[in-house]
C-alpha cells in the first residue's frame, strides 16, 4: 500500500510517538461512527491522529455478525476491511491495524438468541461444526486483514470456586462441548488465518488473583493440546482507586505470562471517576486519572515488545459504556472529554511517550563527527546553522532545548534565545535549517527520539518521516531517513 495517506496525518498525536517507543496505541471505535464521519469530522480525525489500531467495539461480536446458520451480516465489517481478499476498506486506506473482538463470548447473554433457542435440539457434534463454520467464515473472510483476534472472551468466572474446570462459566459453549470449546475455537481460528495473532481476553485478570491464575492454567492447557495461542488480553476496566507501580502485583502478573511464553496487551483501558451530571465530582480526579493512564503506559512500555499494544475502550467521554454501567455515578473515563478536548490523561501519556530529554542547555554533535558541534550566528532574524569544530564553548554553540507540551521541543541557541531552530523546504531533496525569531510555528517544533546513551534523532514536526542530519562535511539539513551516524546526534548537557 502507498504510505502517503499515513504521512499526511499530523502525527503528534500519540500515533507516531507510541510507534517509535515500541507500543502501538489503539482505541475501540464504532464502524457506524467512522462511516458517518460524525461530529463534524472530529471523531475520525482524533482517531487518525492518535491511533494505529482500531478495535470495533461491537461490530465483530457474534450477536452482530451471526444471524443464523450460514447467515451473516457483513456490511459494516466489509466497509472497514473490504469484502474480498484483494479489496481494501477504510482501515487499510487510513493505515490502521484491526483487532477483532470477539469470536466466542463465553456468556449466554452475549450469545445469539437464535442459537440459544436451539440448544436442546443440537448435538455436541453439530455445535462443534457450527463453531467451526462461524470461525472459518469470519476469520477466513478477513484473513490477513485482522492482526489480532480475541478468540475467546470472558470464559472464566469471577467467583472463588465453581465445579467446572478452570472455573469456566456455565455457558452454551461449555454445556455443549465442555472445556474443549476453548481449544476448538483457537484451532479453528488458526486454520482460518495462520498469520493472525490469537488472544484469550478477560477482565479482572490484571493482578495476581485467582482469576488470572485460572486464565493462565486455561491457556497453558490450550497450548498443551496443540492449539496455537499467542497471548492474553487484559481489559483494564478500572476505577480511580487503583494503583499501578513497578514490581507490584500487576507487574508480577505480566511477568508471569511472559515467563510462560505468552504475549499480552492492554485491550480495553478506561479509568472511571465519580461524576455528577457527567462532570467529575472532584476536579482533582482528572489529575489522578492522568497519573493512572501514565502508569499503565509505563507498564506497557516496560514489557514491550511482549506487551504489544495499549488499547483504550474509546477515546472521548462522549461515547463510553462506563456512565450507563454505573448509573451515571461514575464515568469521564477516557482521555478526552465529551467535546474531544484533551484531558490530563492524554497529556500525561503524550509526555511519557515523547519527552525523552530533560529541558536544559546542550551541545549537539553528529555521531559521525563527535568532535564538532552545531552552531549558529545571529544576523538579524534569519541566521545560518552549521557544524563547527573547536572547543564548542561559545554561546552560539550551545542550545537551550525545551519541551513544548504538545509532544515536541523547541531549540534556541544560547546567544539568541528569542529565535529558534527552524526547518524550511522540508520535503526538498535536502530541506533547509536555519534560526528564525520564535513564532510558535510548526516548522520550529522538533520531535526527539532516543537511541540511548545520549544519542538522539531529531525530526521536523511538519515532515516527521524525515530527519535532521549532517549531509556533507559541515552542512546540515532535512533528509530522508537512513541508518547512518550523520543523523544521530550526541547531546551533551552543559
CA distance linking residue 42 with residue 55, whole number of Å = 18
CA distance linking residue 269 with residue 262, whole number of Å = 20
CB 152 within 8 A of CB 104: yes
Of the chain, the end-to-end C-alpha distance in Å amounts to 45
For residues 152 and 353, which CB has a smaller minimum distance to ligand 9MR in the complex? 152
Task: Find the binder of ligand 9MR among 72, 221, 321, 403 (CB under 6 A).
Answer: 321
For residues 102 and 348, which CB has a smaller minimum distance to ligand 9MR in the complex? 102
Shortest separation between residue 325's beta carbon and ligand 9MR, angstroms:
7
With binding defined as CB under 6 A, does residue 193 bind ligand 9MR?
no
Catalytic residue among 154, 157, 330, 445: 154
CA quadruple 290, 293, 299, 305: dihedral, nearest 10: -130
Shortest separation between residue 159's beta carbon and ligand 9MR, angstroms:
18
For residues 111 and 348, which CB has a smaller minimum distance to ligand 9MR in the complex? 111
CB 400 within 8 A of CB 411: yes
For residues 58 and 225, which CB has a smaller minimum distance to ligand 9MR in the complex? 58
Is-catalytic flag, 287?
A: no
Residues 122-151 touching ligand 9MR, rule: CB under 6 A, are none
Catalytic residue among 55, 157, 206, 268: 268
Shortest separation between residue 185's beta carbon and ligand 9MR, angstroms:
16
Shortest separation between residue 364's beta carbon and ligand 9MR, angstroms:
47
CA distance linking residue 447 with residue 441, whole number of Å = 14
CA distance linking residue 449 with residue 466, whole number of Å = 13
For residues 12 and 236, which CB has a smaller minimum distance to ligand 9MR in the complex? 236
Spacing of C-alpha 110 from chain mean position:
26
Is-catalytic flag, 154?
A: yes
Among residues 149, 22, 44, the alpha carbon closest in space to that of 97 is found at 149
Tell me the residue nearest to ligand 9MR as measured from the CB.
321
The SS3 assignment for 432 reads strand
Give CA angle at 462 (372, 39), nearest 5°.
Answer: 155
Q: How many CB atoms are closer than 10 A to CB 194?
A: 10
| Stretch near ligand 9MR under the rule CB under 6 A, chosen from 9-17, 57-65, 122-130, 207-215 | 57-65
With binding defined as CB under 6 A, does residue 58 bind ligand 9MR?
yes
Cβ neighbors of 115 (< 8 A, separation 6 or more) are 66, 130, 172
CA distance linking residue 365 with residue 397, whole number of Å = 10
With binding defined as CB under 6 A, does residue 107 bind ligand 9MR?
no
Shortest separation between residue 268's beta carbon and ligand 9MR, angstroms:
6
Task: Find the binder of ligand 9MR among 29, 53, 55, 57 (CB under 6 A).
Answer: 57
CB 203 within 8 A of CB 190: no
With binding defined as CB under 6 A, does residue 317 bind ligand 9MR?
no
Shortest separation between residue 312's beta carbon and ligand 9MR, angstroms:
12
Task: Find the binder of ligand 9MR among 59, 268, 337, 352 (CB under 6 A).
Answer: 268
Helix boundaries (H) for 265-343: 284-303, 322-325
For residues 204 and 413, which CB has a smaller minimum distance to ligand 9MR in the complex? 204
Residues 204-243 touching ligand 9MR, rule: CB under 6 A, are 235
For residues 95 and 233, which CB has a smaller minimum distance to ligand 9MR in the complex? 233
The count of C-alpha atoms lying within 13 angstroms of the C-alpha of 316, restricted to the half-sphere facing its C-beta, is: 18
The SS3 assignment for 361 reads strand
Shortest separation between residue 384's beta carbon and ligand 9MR, angstroms:
56
CB 210 within 8 A of CB 218: no
Binding site for ligand 9MR (CB under 6 A): 57-58, 61, 110, 203, 235, 268, 321
Catalytically active residues, by annotation: 154, 268
Amino acid at each position: 500500500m502507498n504510505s502517503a495517506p499515513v504521512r499526511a496525518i499530523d502525527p503528534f498525536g500519540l500515533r507516531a510517538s507510541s510507534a517509535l517507543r515500541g507500543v502501538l496505541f489503539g482505541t475501540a471505535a464504532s464502524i457506524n461512527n467512522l462511516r458517518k464521519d460524525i461530529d463534524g469530522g472530529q471523531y475520525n480525525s482524533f482517531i487518525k491522529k492518535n491511533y494505529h489500531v482500531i478495535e470495533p467495539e461491537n461490530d465483530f461480536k457474534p450477536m452482530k455478525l451471526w444471524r443464523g446458520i450460514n447467515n451473516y451480516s457483513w456490511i459494516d465489517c466489509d466497509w472497514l476491511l473490504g469484502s474480498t481478499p484483494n479489496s481494501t476498506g477504510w482501515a487499510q486506506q487510513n493505515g490502521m491495524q484491526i483487532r477483532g473482538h470477539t469470536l466466542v463470548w463465553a456468556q449466554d447473554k452475549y450469545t445469539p438468541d437464535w442459537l440459544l433457542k436451539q440448544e436442546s435440539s443440537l448435538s455436541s457434534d453439530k455445535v462443534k461444526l457450527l463453531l467451526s463454520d462461524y470461525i472459518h467464515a469470519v476469520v477466513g473472510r478477513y484473513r490477513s486483514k485482522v492482526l489480532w483476534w480475541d478468540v475467546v472472551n470472558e470464559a472464566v468466572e469471577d467467583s472463588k470456586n465453581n465445579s467446572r474446570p478452570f472455573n469456566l462459566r456455565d455457558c452454551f459453549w461449555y454445556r455443549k462441548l465442555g472445556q474443549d470449546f476453548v481449544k476448538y475455537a483457537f484451532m479453528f481460528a488458526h486454520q482460518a488465518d495462520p498469520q493472525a495473532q490469537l488472544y484469550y481476553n478477560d477482565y479482572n485478570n490484571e493482578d495476581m488473583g485467582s482469576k488470572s491464575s485460572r486464565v493462565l492454567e486455561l491457556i497453558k492447557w490450550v497450548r498443551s493440546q496443540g492449539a496455537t495461542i499467542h497471548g492474553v488480553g487484559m481489559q483494564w476496566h478500572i476505577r480511580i482507586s487503583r494503583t499501578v507501580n513497578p514490581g507490584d502485583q500487576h507487574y508480577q502478573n505480566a511477568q508471569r505470562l511472559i515467563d510462560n511464553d505468552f504475549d499480552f496487551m492492554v485491550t480495553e483501558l478506561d479509568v472511571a471517576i465519580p461524576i455528577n451530571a457527567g462532570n467529575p465530582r472532584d476536579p482533582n480526579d482528572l489529575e489522578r486519572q492522568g497519573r493512572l493512564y501514565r502508569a499503565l503506559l509505563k507498564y506497557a512500555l516496560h514489557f514491550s515488545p511482549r506487551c504489544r499494544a495499549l488499547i483504550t475502550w474509546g477515546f472521548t467521554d462522549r461515547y463510553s459504556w462506563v456512565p450507563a454501567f454505573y448509573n451515571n455515578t461514575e464515568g469521564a473515563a477516557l482521555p478526552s472529554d465529551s467535546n474531544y478536548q484533551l484531558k490530563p490523561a492524554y497529556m500525561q501519556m503524550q509526555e511519557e511517550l515523547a519527552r525523552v530529554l530533560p529541558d536544559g542547555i546542550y551541545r549537539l554533535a553528529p555521531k559521525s563527527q563527535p568532535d564538532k558541534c552545531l552552531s549558529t550566528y545571529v544576523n538579524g532574524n534569519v541566521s545560518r546553522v552549521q557544524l563547527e569544530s573547536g572547543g564548542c564553548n561559545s554561546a552560539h554553540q550551545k542550545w537551550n532545548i525545551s519541551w513544548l507540551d504538545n509532544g515536541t521541543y523547541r531549540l534556541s541557541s544560547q546567544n539568541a534565545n528569542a529565535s529558534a531552530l527552524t526547518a524550511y523546504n522540508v520535503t526538498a531533496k535536502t530541506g533547509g535549517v536555519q534560526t528564525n525569531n520564535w513564532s510558535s510555528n510548526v516548522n520550529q517544533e522538533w520531535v526527539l527520539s532516543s537511541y540511548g546513551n545520549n544519542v538522539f534523532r531529531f525530526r521536523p514536526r511538519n515532515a516527521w518521516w524525515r530527519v535532521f542530519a549532517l549531509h556533507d562535511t559541515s552542512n546540515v539539513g532535512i533528509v530522508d531517513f537512513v541508518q547512518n551516524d550523520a543523523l544521530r546526534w550526541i547531546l551533551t548537557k552543559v
